[in-house]
Chains A and B, each alone.
Chain A
Amino acid sequence: MSSENGKLLPETDAGGLNFEATELTLGLPGESRVTSDGVAKLGSKRGFSETVDLSLGDNKNTNKFGQSQIDVPEAAKSPVSKAQVVGWPPVRGYAKRRTKSCKYVKVAVDGAPYLRKVDLEMYNTYQQLLTSLEDMFSCFTIRNYLSDKKLDQVNGIEYVPTYEDKDGDWMLVGDVPWQMFVESCKRLRLMKSSEAVGLAPRTPPKCSSAS
């Protein structure tokens, strides 16, 4: 390959270009896009430096882009997420419907030694969720306020499904429409009925259709 290739290896110094490894620059037209350190000089694109700060750490990942901070306000919260560039990757805005990420929430059951996780996106209705929780914690019985009938009792202990919402409040599962619940639920807790005395309503709450 031509000597141009040499510029791309971090060790070689092509000379003539003195840039701080971590500094983004606006290059002059026609200048090499790659600095002497072999850093891909994406900063030579106007507007890009407003989007991304490149910082090179000791990076086993040969991807020079591996660690980057994100400047834009609507950026992802994770500090190690990839730099977000307008229009990249080239997926259609419409196609973002594909990127429904799973909504995994922790499920705690009073008295159980460990927690489980469920993906709320897997279900369409409260009934499906509660059935699934019952499968998961098969030794327990979950009080189902929606169907107004008790599920088969196995060991006589009833549990009330509650969840923590975005505001940090503990709510009874089933009051709001399903989608709203999925969006606001941060985690689930199956509370012992005995503890829920005074909190759990004696009559099932009105809720819109479970779907």
Chain B
Amino acid sequence: MMNYFPDEVLEHVFDSIASHKDRNSVSLVCKSWYRIERYSRRRVFIGNCYSISPERLIARFPGLKSLTLKGKPHFADFNLVPYDWGGFVYPWIKALAESGIGLEELRLKRMVVSDESLELLSKSFANFKSLVLVSCEGFSADGLAAVAANCRFLRELDLQENEVDDHRGHWLSCFPESCTSLVSLNFACLKGEVNLGALERLVSRSPNLKSLRLNRLVPLDTLQKLLMRAPQLVDLGIGSYVHDPSSEASNKLKHAIQRCKSIVSLSGFLEVAPRCMSAIYPICGNLTTLNLSYAPGLHGNKLTKLIQHCRKLQRLWILDRIGDKGLGVVASTCKELQELRVFPSDPFGAGNDAVTEEGLVLVSAGCPKLNSLLYFCQQMTNAALITVARNCPNFIRFRLCILDPVKPDPVTNQPLDEGFGAIVQSCKRLKRLSLSGLLTDQVFLYIGMYAEQLEMLSIAFAADSDKGMLYVLNGCKKLRKLEIRDCPFGNSALLEDVGKYETMRSLWMSSCEVTLGGCKTVAEKMPSLNVEIINESDQTEFNLDEGQKVDKMYLYRTLVGHRKDAPESVWIL
């Protein structure tokens, strides 16, 4: 019946389908739907930049406006991937530029972005509006200057946790006077000074500015001036927040902050004097997002007093200096809390300040809407996890990191199998899980049995045998990303069902028991996978012994075969 609708009608219907997954499904229905869908597709998400080529992307979606690309595997965040592994954005920008595609938005994560790419980007797309770079590297303030100078209709420049090489601050001055379209500006991760006058003028002429995140070197008096000029802000990232509470500067700041009645998201405090937090209290009641994870100086009473003002909080990112008691305050204050992230303030130290299972139990009891957790802690017990599972059956993301890699339940000395088992059994919507602590094959049996919606699993220092990995591969039908380090999984687990890997985005295994021979077998049987061996040792030649254990293996499905840009340390089988 749908065949009798003109294309425009179908297009209109498809327009209302936003989810990538759904649009992908739509395109598979029949040829005409495929055709209509591809011409009307505006946003594309590519979770692994090596799974497809820019040319094929352009050929299929000529109407593309927004592209999201991810590069390096997740464990690159923890220094497990060589810096030159890959993930270069330049070929994408070059291809898009040459194709005449009207790119408006580019979102990159863990990619290498050179100044050259940013320059090319800035000059190639007349309507370019939005650049979001997360955990990227390879560029300097010069690249930013090019974007500022050339993207006449820029709305969003959002830099999150990037490693930026050079810190000359003139890039802000490169926004022309005619640029008044900014909605979002985030340069919190830059280490260098910026031209404060240029910043003030830029903010003054950006009436649509909703999100502003400053870096550490923006001093308090500038902050105050910016807030006076932009009381319409919705999201604020404070750079330096050090002042004398009794001073004139502090009074002016209080006044400026109070005018910002729309701020619902607060972050930064990259430099903070805790006794000054009371100036923030007037806006705390509106906050739905609060990120204090860059403020190690904020703890104890000053921190809990602040939190007590934040009754509407939905998302809280905090350091473990908050302690179990502080989490108790969160539990009794933040009844709307959905996402909690507790980061370690001293990851390699004795952990005196850290949180334990007690804090987590308190939050689970007080915050029934909790659905997303990242929790670095000193220790965890099965009893606590079972309680948490009962209190919060809605977890979508559950990432627990016990700082000591193989720590058992300190009360019973048992592994944490039962605790995590309770989590997966109770949380039927669980999509992402990270395990830690002492774990045997048993936990994987539970995961395979119960974690039906699981898409991403991170495992470290766990399991007793191949059975662990097999339980997961056999049981988790929706698994997309599996990353494993330091587990006794070998070839028989790896090779049991190589077809499974085609249903997944990627598999990472490092310091496991798989051998070169095993990896080669996967590569031979599955031409649709790239199997990469990463060898960072000093030896210039790969040891060709098939029985040699592989240090790091990263395999991923791809439509375009072996990539050509791999460095010496990466061998694609």
Hey, which chain B residues are within 8 Å of A31, CB to CB? 488
Q: Do residues B406 and A81 form an inter-chain contact, with CB atoms below 8 A?
A: no
Hey, which chain A residues are within 8 Å of B296, CB to CB? 98-102
Please tell me which one of the listed residues A34, A48, A64, A93 contacts residue B486 in the complex, with CB atoms under 8 A apart: A48
User: Considering the chains assembled together, what is the distance between the CA atoms of A46 and B512 in angstroms?
Assistant: 8
State whether the Cβ of B463 lies closer than 8 Å to any Cβ in chain A. yes
State whether the Cβ of B464 lies closer than 8 Å to any Cβ in chain A. yes
Hey, which chain B residues are within 8 Å of A121, CB to CB? 297
Enumerate A174-210 residues with CB–CB distance to B below 8 Å. Answer: none
- The answer to whether A30 and B77 touch (CB under 8 A), given A8-B440, A46-B549, A78-B350, is no
Hey, which chain B residues are within 8 Å of A78, CB to CB? 350
Q: Do residues B413 and A44 form an inter-chain contact, with CB atoms below 8 A?
A: no
Question: Contact size class for B?
Answer: 35 or more
Hey, which chain B residues are within 8 Å of A10, CB to CB? 413
Hey, which chain A residues are within 8 Å of B75, CB to CB? 87
Q: Mark A1-41, 1 if CB is under 8 A from B, else 0.
A: 11011011110000000000000000101111110000010
- The answer to whether A45 and B297 touch (CB under 8 A), given A80-B350, A93-B77, A94-B163, is no
- The answer to whether A4 and B464 touch (CB under 8 A), given A29-B513, A47-B551, is yes
* Majority DSSP secondary structure for residues of A touching B: loop
User: Considering the chains assembled together, what is the distance between the CA atoms of A123 and B161 in angstroms?
Assistant: 25
Please tell me which one of the listed residues B294, B297, B465 contacts residue A30 in the complex, with CB atoms under 8 A apart: B465
- The answer to whether A86 and B551 touch (CB under 8 A), given A2-B442, A40-B406, A81-B349, is no
User: Considering the chains assembled together, what is the distance between the CA atoms of A93 and B72 in angstroms?
Assistant: 15
- The answer to whether A44 and B297 touch (CB under 8 A), given A65-B404, A99-B346, A101-B346, is no
Q: Mark A41-80, 1 if CB is under 8 A from B, else 0.
A: 0101111100000000000011111000000000010101
Q: Do residues B135 and A81 form an inter-chain contact, with CB atoms below 8 A?
A: no
Please tell me which one of the listed residues A1, A76, A87 contacts residue B348 in the complex, with CB atoms under 8 A apart: A76
- The answer to whether A33 and B347 touch (CB under 8 A), given A47-B511, A90-B78, is no
CB distance from A129 to the nearest CB of B (A): 12
- The answer to whether A92 and B77 touch (CB under 8 A), given A31-B488, A82-B404, is yes
Q: Do residues B485 and A87 form an inter-chain contact, with CB atoms below 8 A?
A: yes
Q: Do residues B511 and A46 form an inter-chain contact, with CB atoms below 8 A?
A: yes
State whether the Cβ of A95 lies closer than 8 Å to any Cβ in chain B. yes
CB distance from B217 to the nearest CB of A (A): 10
CB distance from B174 to the nearest CB of A (A): 25
State whether the Cβ of B237 lies closer than 8 Å to any Cβ in chain A. no
User: Considering the chains assembled together, what is the distance between the CA atoms of A99 and B492 in angstroms?
Assistant: 41
Which chain B residues have a beta carbon within 8 Å of chain A's beta carbons?
A: 75, 77-80, 135, 161, 163, 189, 240, 242, 244, 271, 273, 293-294, 296-297, 319, 343-351, 376, 379, 401, 403-408, 410, 413-415, 417-418, 434, 438, 440-442, 458, 460-461, 463-466, 485-486, 488, 490-492, 511, 513, 549, 551
New A-B pairs, 10, CB < 8 Å, besides A31-B488, A76-B348: A1-B417, A9-B413, A30-B466, A62-B410, A63-B379, A65-B404, A94-B161, A95-B161, A101-B296, A102-B297
